[in-house]
Amino acid sequence: MLKLNPIRSEKVWGYEDWIASTHPDGLQTDFASLVNDYPLLVKIIQANDTLSVQVHPDDSDAKRLEGENERGKTECWYVLEAEEGASLIYGLKGNLSKEEVRAAIKENSLENLLNRVTVKKGDFIFIPSGTVHAIGGGLRLLEVQQSCNITYRLYDWGRPREVHIEKGVEVIKNEKRTEIAPLAEEFECAYFRLQKEPLKGGYSFLVSPSSKTAELLFISEGNGTIRSTAKDGIKTEMPFTKEEIFAVTSGEKITLEGHGEVIRIQAK
């Protein structure tokens, strides 16, 4: 069992804490020594202002546009905190063509085409690669994504940062969106699985002996004690509190004692 320490990246709109990463742009060396190249990247995003309107490529487009060693970026958000009326951009309105999107960016009218939704604490949003999106101000999110740092900005609300219109428009997939709702007990896609577990005193499980890489435990609420018994019998015990994250490996017996909520994150 390994407790992971965040790497902070300050932004014009707030900050990101990379809390589980082996990506070269935010490498946690102790985590990398445990898992080598981890296929997921987990962040806490504190958005005090609105992020750029952006889109990420899928695996195929990432390799084609950025290099053979790149992954795409499918991601999801779990709302940890939300100010009253906080909102985000989740896709485009209607079945728009790439030409219509490109023209709207050129005419500075893209805002009219964005699907804005209000969210609250506990909501879950799935963002497949190719989905146009933006996080609004007044939000704190857990983000689970493929280990990729490719972002194509389409529009940045007048801020003087680089945009990537041609590549961005090229990778858009304006597919049907998943309904935004509170996170259910379990979510699964092609790249990751999330399992929400309430902590009401105690919770124990065995990390699958067949797991090919580590499982992550994110404490979304509460505090208590986490205990591990490794396959070789070595026992470890640590306190935990809100927004801490732990990596556990195959065959470990894990027990959490306390109150709150834990999100189990598994790579696929």
Q: Please tell me the distance from the alpha carbon of residue 192 to that of residue 94, in angstroms, as a whole number.
A: 28
| Per-residue pLDDT band at 15 (split at 50, 70, 90) | very high
Nearest to 136 by CA among 57, 81, 179, 56: 81
Name the average pLDDT for the chain: 96
At 218 the pLDDT is 98
104: part of which helix (H) or strand (E)? helix 98-106
- Is residue 170 classed exposed, middle or buried when 0-12, 13-18 and 19+ CB atoms within 10 A define those classes? middle
What average pLDDT score do residues 203-231 get? 96
The domains of the chain, with CATH numbers, are 2-186 (2.60.120.10), 187-267 (2.60.120.10)
Nearest to 100 by CA among 141, 122, 132, 67: 132
How far apart (Å, rounded) are the C-alpha atoms in residues 267 and 146? 9
CA distance 112 to 116: 10
Q: What pLDDT was estimated at residue 175?
A: 79
Residue 62's SS3 state is helix
174: pLDDT strictly greater than 90: no
* Mean pLDDT computed over 220-229: 98
Q: Confidence band (pLDDT; 50, 70, 90) for 34?
A: very high
Q: Count of alpha carbons within 13 Å of 236, Cβ hemisphere only?
A: 17
| Strand order across the 7-11 sheet | 7-11, 14-20, 40-47, 139-146, 75-82, 123-127, 181-182
pLDDT of residue 173: 93
Q: Could you give the CA distance from residue 76 to residue 218 in angstroms, rounded to a whole number?
A: 14
Q: What is the pTM of this model?
A: 0.97
Query: Hey, what amino acid is at 61?
Result: D
By three-state DSSP, how is residue 132 classified? coil
Contact present, 211 and 244 (Cβ < 8 Å): no
Asked if 10 and 47 count as a contact pair (C-beta separation under 8 A), the reply is: no
Cite the active site residues.
153
Distance between CA atoms of residues 121 and 123, nearest Å: 6
Give 165-232 as a 3 state SS string: HHHHHHHCCCCCCCCCEECCCEEECCCEEEEEEEEEEEEEEECCCCCCCCEEEEEEEEEEEEEEECCC
Pairing state of beta strands 181-182 and 186-188? unpaired
What is the per-residue pLDDT across 49-105, written as a single tens digit (0 to 9) for each? 999 999 999 999 999 999 999 999 999 999 999 999 999 999 999 889 999 999 999
pLDDT value at 35 more than 90: yes
Rounded-to-integer distance, Cα 176 and Cα 194, Å: 21
